[in-house]
A and B are shown apart, each in its own frame.
Chain A
Amino acid sequence: MRILITTVQVPFIRGGAEIHAEGLRNALCEFGHEAEILAIPFKWYPPERILDHMLACQLLDISEVAGTRVDLVIGLKFPSYLIPHPNKVLWILHQHRTAYELWDHPLSDLVYYPNGTEVRDVIRQADRKLIPRAKAIFANSRNVAERLKKFCGIDSTPLYHPPPNAERYYCSTVEDFLFFPSRLCIPKRQELVIEALAQTQNSVRVLFAGVSDQPSYANKLMSLARKFKVHDRVEWLGPISADEMRHRYANSIGVIYPPTDEDYGYVTLEAMLSSKPVVTCNDSGGPLEFVLDHKTGLITEPTPDALAAAFDLLWENRAEAKAWGEMGRVRYESFNLSWEHVVNKLLA
Chain B
Amino acid sequence: MIGSSVGRSMGKPEYLQFDIDDLAAVIRESIAKQNHDDNTAPGIVSSPEQLQASPELKLQPEFEPRSNNRYHINDLLRYHDRAFVQNAYRAILKRSPDATEQARALTILRGGRLNKIDLLSSLRFSTEGKAKGVQVDGLSLPAFVRRLGRVPLIGYLIRLAITLVRLPNVIRDQRQFDNYVVSQNQLIADFINTITPRMSEYGARVSQLETTTSKQLEVSQTMTRELRAIAEELKVIREQYELLEHTNNAHFDNLEQQLKTLEIRFDKNVQTRMEKEGAARQYEILKQQQLIKATTEDLRAEIERVYLQLKHDRATSVDLPMPKVHASTETHRLDAMYVALEDRFRGSHEEVKQRFEVYLPYLKQTKALLDAPLIDVGSGRGEWLELLKEQDIKAYGIERNRIAIARCRARGLEVIEDDAIVHLQGIAAEGVGAVTGFHIIEHLPLDTLVHLLDQVMRVLRPGGLLIFETPNPENVVVGSNFFYLDPTHRHPLPSQLMQFLFEYRGFHRVEVINLHPWDSGRVAGEGELAERFNGYFFGPMDYAILGWKVEP
Contact = CB atoms under 8 A, between A and B. Distances in A.
Please say whether the chains A and B touch (CB closer than 8 A).
yes
Interface of A: 45-48, 51, 112-115, 118-119
Contacts of A48: 43-46
A45 B48 contact: yes
B45, B46, B47: residue with the most chain A Cβ atoms closer than 10 Å: B46
A117 to B, nearest CB: 11
19 contacts: A45-B48, A46-B46, A46-B48, A47-B44, A47-B46, A48-B43, A48-B44, A48-B45, A48-B46, A51-B44, A112-B48, A112-B49, A113-B46, A113-B48, A114-B46, A115-B44, A115-B45, A115-B46, A119-B44
A105 to B, nearest CB: 15
Nearest to A227: B260
Given A47-B44, A48-B45, A119-B44, 12 more contacts: A45-B48, A46-B47, A46-B48, A47-B46, A48-B44, A48-B46, A51-B44, A112-B49, A113-B46, A113-B48, A114-B46, A115-B46
A113 B44 CA distance: 10
A51 B169 CA distance: 63
A45 B46 CA distance: 9
Contacts of B48: 45-46, 112-113
Interface in B7-54: 43-49
Contacts of A114: 46
Contacts of A46: 46-48
A200 B47 CA distance: 46
Contacts of B43: 48
A48 B44 CA distance: 6
Interface residues on B, range: under 10
Contacts of A47: 44, 46
A229 B476 CA distance: 56
Interface majority SS on A: helix, strand, loop or mixed?
loop
A118 B49 contact: no
A200 B286 CA distance: 32
Contacts of B49: 112
Contacts of B47: 46
A274 B211 CA distance: 59
A47 B44 CA distance: 9
Nearest to A46: B46
Nearest to A48: B44
B2 to A, nearest CB: 26
A145 B345 CA distance: 87
A119 B47 CA distance: 14
Most buried by A among B44, B45, B48: B44
B280 to A, nearest CB: 21
Contacts of A118: 44
A284 B45 CA distance: 35
Interface in B48-82: 48-49
Contacts of A115: 44-46
Nearest to A115: B44
B250 to A, nearest CB: 13
Nearest to B49: A112
A118 B46 CA distance: 11
A103 B43 CA distance: 22
B262 to A, nearest CB: 15
Nearest to B260: A227
A337 B296 CA distance: 48
A27 to B, nearest CB: 40
A129 to B, nearest CB: 14
Contacts of B45: 48, 115
Interface string B116-142: 000000000000000000000000000
B12 to A, nearest CB: 15
Contacts of A119: 44
Contacts of B44: 47-48, 51, 115, 118-119
A174 B194 CA distance: 58
A51 B43 CA distance: 13
Nearest to B47: A46
Nearest to B257: A227
B187 to A, nearest CB: 26
Which of A45, A112, A114, A118: most chain B CB closer than 10 A? A114
A127 to B, nearest CB: 18
A118 B44 CA distance: 8
Contacts of B46: 46-48, 113-115
Nearest to A45: B48
A53 to B, nearest CB: 14
B301 to A, nearest CB: 10
Interface in B442-493: none
Nearest to A116: B46
B16 to A, nearest CB: 13
Contacts of A112: 48-49
Nearest to B256: A223
B437 to A, nearest CB: 40
In the A-B complex, the 3 residue pairs with the smallest Cβ-Cβ separation, listed nearest first, are A46-B46, A48-B44, A115-B44
B411 to A, nearest CB: 53
A18 B415 CA distance: 74
B253 to A, nearest CB: 9
A113 B47 CA distance: 8
Max chain A CB contacts within 10 Å: which of B45, B48, B49? Answer: B48
Q: Which of A45, A46, A119 has the most CB of B within 10 A?
A: A46
A114 B47 CA distance: 9
B255 to A, nearest CB: 14
Nearest to B48: A113
A194 to B, nearest CB: 15
A45 B49 CA distance: 12
A124 to B, nearest CB: 16
A290 to B, nearest CB: 36
